[in-house]
Amino acid sequence: MSSEDAFISSLKPAVELFIKHVEMGSRIRIVTHNDADGLASGGILSVVAHRKGAAFRTSSEKKLDEKLVRSLAEENPSLIVFSDFGSGYTDLIAENLSQDVIILDHHLPAGHEADNLVHVNPMLHGIDGAREIAASGICYLFAREVDEGNRDLSCLGLVGALGDQQDKGERKTLTGLNTLIEEDAVKDGFLEKHVGLIFYGYETRPLAKAIAYTTTPYIPGLSGEEGACLAFLREVGIPANEGDRLRSLADLTDEEKRTLFSALSSHMVSMGCDAGAVHQLIGTIYTFRLEEPSTSLRSGREHGSLLNACGRMEKPGVGLSICLGDRGEAMAEAQEILDLYRRKIGSSLGLVRENDMVEERDHIYVIRAGDTIDDTVIGVVSGILLNQGILKKKKPIISTAASEDDQMKVSARSTEELALRGLHMGLVMQKAAEAMGGGGGGHDVAAGAYVPIDKEEEFIARVNSLVPEHLKE
């Protein structure tokens, strides 16, 4: 049996347990993470529960910790389903929860198992959870196993992968088990793909706004600056209007697209970006055909960004409502949230660069933001700095920001090159955080932790010493 077949077979016990509780009339508690992948996952599971007529409640949480687990124990539902987190906290779950538990996750597993726990994770079958499938994809495959009628959730199954930047294949395609979900979405008429310039709002936004709203890749001097983008378009000779109508990227001729790519490439290099970062501008565009062309939900990547903004700006309920089909009030509010979120990222990047906040240690870069940058965006900011080649040495970046309950939020970002050399930042975060009395984990290139705020310097020093232990020459 292939690893993919073994993983899909591992869904069966979870499906059987879920259906058993539905048939018993049990109260089902769905608990999911608060980023795009978590919200898409929670949305899928909520739709499945609703369609089965189950009594359920869904919440999105910033982190899984002892406080959350104890509150779940007090609620005392018959079945708890964790999505997009849980694999690294199976010991905590087993020690505190006596009811049935299902974990649908793609993060580094801790290895603890229990009789009341059904743990579904691709990494338990040798499948890369950072690149080949996200939690939303796992939840989609789970939903499909519950009922083939849930195939209409396939696009939501891809949103988490795009939100988690799993588009690591040639021309920024999704790979691995994600392609099985793609096949369902294309076959059923929900998804269309083509290669082109990757800007948010390929069909839906005026050119200047599309460039300004693009943060992956981040374009220094243009991302977040619509006025500067209009001036840039005039300078390179590309009209932003056609008569009274504002043009979108889809309206450009092939020659204009080549001109725009060349001009943006030169601009990014002149602003200190690595030449390789320029190629992030070209890739596979995922279009969700049933979404209105005028909305942010039409593009798979922008759909993910919208959900991510809702979670990070502490409005996860709005994101969940969109996943459940609300295209009215929730959609209008989500668009406002997304605009605020992008402005926050832009201002935070400006703060880091203007104040020279990046500190270089022997084996890592460090940003110590304190309370000057919100802990909800510090990971995005550090990822942009690393991926754009602005930081020239091949080192991971660790960013810290004050969080609630005297905790410090830590975000770690690394590169594909360092991962190939054996560096797994999820494992580094796990080891370093546990030594400080905190908790951490994640993927090889993107991970995080929470540790006591008075342990900040000790934690950073610990990470700095752990990184070279993992690297192969």
Domain final residue, candidates 162, 187, 212 = 187
Q: Is the pLDDT confidence value at 67 over 90?
A: yes
Residue 275 and residue 391 in one domain: no
Return the axis-axis angle of helices 154-163 and 300-312, rounded to nearest 10°: 70
Question: Residue 428 and residue 32: Cα distance in Å, rounded?
Answer: 24
Residue 44 has pLDDT above 80, yes or no: yes
pLDDT of amino acid 72: 97
Regarding whether 208 and 142 lie in a shared domain, the answer is: no
The structure's pTM equals 0.91
437/313 same-domain check? no
Tens digits of residue pLDDT in 153-190: 999 999 999 999 999 999 999 999 999 999 999 999 99
Residues 212 and 305 in one domain: yes
Least confident span in 13-22, 27-36, 80-89, 347-356: 347-356
Task: Please state, in angstroms and rounded to a whole number, the distance separating the CA atoms of residues 417 and 394.
Answer: 8
Return the pLDDT at 339: 86
Residues 80 and 223 in one domain: no
Residue 66 and residue 41 share a domain: yes
Q: What is the reported pLDDT for 224?
A: 79
The total domain count for the chain is 3
Same domain (yes/no): 201, 158: no
Find the largest Cα–Cα distance for the chain: 68
Owning domain of residue 92: 3-187
Mean pLDDT (the chain, rounded): 92
Q: In the 8-state DSSP scheme, what is residue 146?
A: H
Task: Give the residue from 320, 350, 380 where a domain finishes.
Answer: 350
Query: What are 99's strand-pairing partners?
Result: none
- Do 22 and 151 reside in the same domain of the chain? yes
* 151 neighbors 180 (Cβ within 8 angstroms): no
The CATH number given to whatever domain includes residue 77 is: 3.90.1640.30
pLDDT at 413: 95
CA gap 244, 341 in Å, rounded:
30
pLDDT at 473: 63
Nearest to 337 by CA among 311, 360, 361: 311
On whether both 282 and 169 belong to a single domain, the answer is no
In this predicted structure, the answer to whether residue 234 has a pLDDT above a threshold of 90 is yes
Distance from CA of residue 24 to its chain's centroid?
35
Same domain assignment for residues 19 and 137: yes
Same structural domain, 411 and 278: no
Task: Report whether 200 contacts 210 (CB < 8 A).
Answer: yes
Question: Does the pLDDT of residue 435 top 70, yes or no?
Answer: yes
Higher pLDDT, 405 or 425: 425
CATH code, 412: 3.10.310.40
User: 206 and 80: one domain?
Assistant: no
Q: What is the pLDDT of residues 371-420, one digit of tens each?
A: 999 998 999 999 888 877 777 788 999 999 998 878 999 999 999 899 99
Domain boundary among the residues 350, 367, 384 is at: 350
